[in-house]
């Protein structure tokens, strides 16, 4: 399920089965590295969508949590933990934060959800067979990790 009206309508009838949330986390900053961040955003969107497809019926994919790359991590931790606190008011038992930003790793213990950090390629053709194979392999590994929490 995704954060869209048709899926949220179905969610009301399937609440007892949908117990896991995935929140993609993506930095934003307009500078010389904007193209790299845009590529990573595309890649993160693909990862999140593929995971949601495979785990449909058990997982809800939330809107991307966007933040300034230069923002203070402590403030962002408080902000994302507020999201998580609000989400936990529903019967969700597992919350995963999906990111390509290694800076979250340093603060993982302060997060109220499970951090899934993926090292990423910096650029490339997302439609190439090689890239699709890499994405498929990483998606399968993430899915196995998520299932280990169930």
pLDDT in tens, 138-148: 999 999 999 99
pLDDT above 80 (res 124): no
The whole-angstrom separation of Cα 69 and Cα 85 is: 23
- Let me know: does 102 contact 131? Beta carbons within 8 Å: no
> What are the structure tokens assigned to 109, written together?
């213990």
- List the CATH code of the domain at 5-149: 3.40.50
For β-strands 114-117 and 20-28, DSSP reports them as: unpaired
pLDDT band at 8 (very low <50, low <70, confident <90, very high): confident
pLDDT at 143: 95
- Of all residues in the chain, the percent with pLDDT exceeding 70 is 96
């Amino acid at each position: 399920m995704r954060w869209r009206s048709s899926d949220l309508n179905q969610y009301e009838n399937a609440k007892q089965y949908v117990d896991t949330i995935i929140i993609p986390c993506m930095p934003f900053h307009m500078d010389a590295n904007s193209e790299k961040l845009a590529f990573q955003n595309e890649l993160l969107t693909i990862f999140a969508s593929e995971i949601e497809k495979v785990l449909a019926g058990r997982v809800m994919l939330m809107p991307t949590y966007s933040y300034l790359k230069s923002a203070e991590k402590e403030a962002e931790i408080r902000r994302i933990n507020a999201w998580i606190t609000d989400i936990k008011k529903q019967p969700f038992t597992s919350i995963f934060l999906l990111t390509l930003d290694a800076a979250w790793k340093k603060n993982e213990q302060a997060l109220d959800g499970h951090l899934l950090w993926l090292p990423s390629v910096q650029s490339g053709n997302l439609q190439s067979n090689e890239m699709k194979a890499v994405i498929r392999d990483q998606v399968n590994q993430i899915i196995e990790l998520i299932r280990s929490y169930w």
